[in-house]
Amino acid sequence: MLKKNDIAPAFNLYATPDQKIKLNNFTGQNIVLAFYPADWSLICSDQMALYNEMLKYFKEYDAQLLGISVDSKWCHLAFSQSRNLHFPLLSDFEPKGEVAKKYGVYNEDKGVAERALFVINKQGIIEWSYLSPMAVNPGADGILETLESISLKSI
């Protein structure tokens, strides 16, 4: 798993059935990457709902949240609409888990991304990473603490 001071690997993933998002679309912003195993699972649903509620706090630190799983772009679309999510869910579907593998969080045995968080600074450097147990919602405390730390460094 990538860790603090590693360069965040680039990616270009579907956010909708006809739109791709690149990591460098957010150059000059902090980025929160939330890898998760699967749309529709109870814990993933709770985790994404929590982050949806936390968006205003992430924005205070000029941070863009991106969810990433190996589910298809169509699955993400349905999940996002049903949960009324206001941030992109990116499909690491084909080749399956390619981006999760770059970040060191692909679970080969289960064929899914691990539940992992990364905070990337405006220069594209990882400031914090966390691998959560699959059955545990990692919450947002570590994300907010890291964003605050980044903010204090820039003063």
Percent of the chain at pLDDT above 70? Answer: 99
Contacts of 108 (CB under 8 A, 6+ apart): none
Q: Is 126 inside any structural domain?
A: yes
Check if the beta carbon of residue 34 is closer than 8 Å to that of residue 68: yes
Percent of the chain at pLDDT above 90? Answer: 97
Q: Is 98 inside any structural domain?
A: yes
Quick: pLDDT tens for 67-100: 999 999 999 999 999 999 999 999 999 999 999 9
Measure the CA–CA gap between 48 and 35, rounded to whole angstroms.
10
Q: Is 131 inside any structural domain?
A: yes
For residue 19, the enclosing domain spans: 12-153
Quick: pLDDT tens for 97-128: 999 999 999 999 999 999 999 999 999 999 99
Q: Is 4 inside any structural domain?
A: no
Q: Is 2 inside any structural domain?
A: no
Measure the CA–CA gap between 48 and 67, rounded to whole angstroms.
8
The yes-or-no verdict on residue 155 having pLDDT over 80 is no
Measure the CA–CA gap between 144 and 104, rounded to whole angstroms.
22
What is the domain count for the chain? 1
Catalytic residue status for 44: yes
Catalytic residue among 44, 70, 100, 119: 44
Per the confidence metrics, is the pTM higher than 0.95? yes
Q: What CATH number corresponds to the domain at position 40?
A: 3.40.30.10
Quick: pLDDT tens for 10-28: 999 999 999 999 999 999 9
Q: Is 1 inside any structural domain?
A: no
Q: Is 6 inside any structural domain?
A: no
Q: What is the pLDDT of residue 154?
A: 75
Q: In degrees, to the nearest 5, what angle opens at C-alpha 79 toward C-alphas 21 and 9? A: 30
